[in-house]
Chain A
Amino acid sequence: SQQGEEDPQALSIQEGENATMNCSYKTSINNLQWYRQNSGRGLVHLILIRSNEREKHSGRLRVTLDTSKKSSSLLITASRAADTASYFCATSGTYKYIFGTGTRLKVLA
């Protein structure tokens, strides 16, 4: 199957800094979603951006989508220790979601 890829695989930053994660995918999409996973738990939906949108904001989250480059980025501003988690992008087609391999973010207090 085709999977998205997140970049970087791991990221370590200081509290208060911004964190940027990138996602590339291979197929045409209806929308792209970002999820967060705390250690050993299920994934939680963060934000969805549709294929005809270029940018979307939700609180401290900013997502961009470039369908010509088949890529998306997630920016977390003013990070907190509680943002420490793994972040996944998922692209949506008919019925199925294809997940990337995730970025592990560690925010140091």
Chain B
Amino acid sequence: DVKVTQSSRYLVKRTGEKVFLECVQDMDHENMFWYRQDPGLGLRLIYFSYDVKMKEKGDIPEGYSVSREKKERFSLILESASTNQTSMYLCATDSRASGSPLHFGNGTRLTVT
């Protein structure tokens, strides 16, 4: 089974801090994604990466950046955390095979105070 590990389940940070959310996968998948999930809004794509050092903006990239230096690791960076970035963050991966499902980590619930 694919394992997608997010480094923290819960995180509390202060406004203005730089925040790193880490995601590691063990199945050699090419594609990796970062979503945020908010009540009533579903999952919204922040960034995705289809290869090492490659990244594409999703639907809500403002205030975020990403890094993919190694195939197995995809990091989400909040350059200067704000209270409206309080949310559940979900990392996911899939292979490039047609019909390949997404595999999710357990999420990081971030609170910015």
Contacts and interface: CB of A to CB of B under 8 A. Distances in A.
Interface of B: 4, 31, 33, 35, 40-45, 48, 50, 56, 58-59, 88, 90, 92, 98-99, 101-107, 109
Given A33-B101, A50-B99, A101-B41, A41 B48 contact: no
Q: 8 tightest A-B contacts by CB?
A: A42-B104, A45-B101, A101-B42, A1-B59, A99-B43, A43-B104, A42-B106, A99-B42
Given A33-B101, A42-B104, A45-B101, A96 B48 contact: yes
Contacts of A35: 102
A28 interface: no
13 contacts: A1-B44, A3-B42, A40-B107, A40-B109, A43-B92, A43-B102, A43-B104, A48-B101, A50-B99, A88-B42, A99-B35, A101-B40, A101-B41
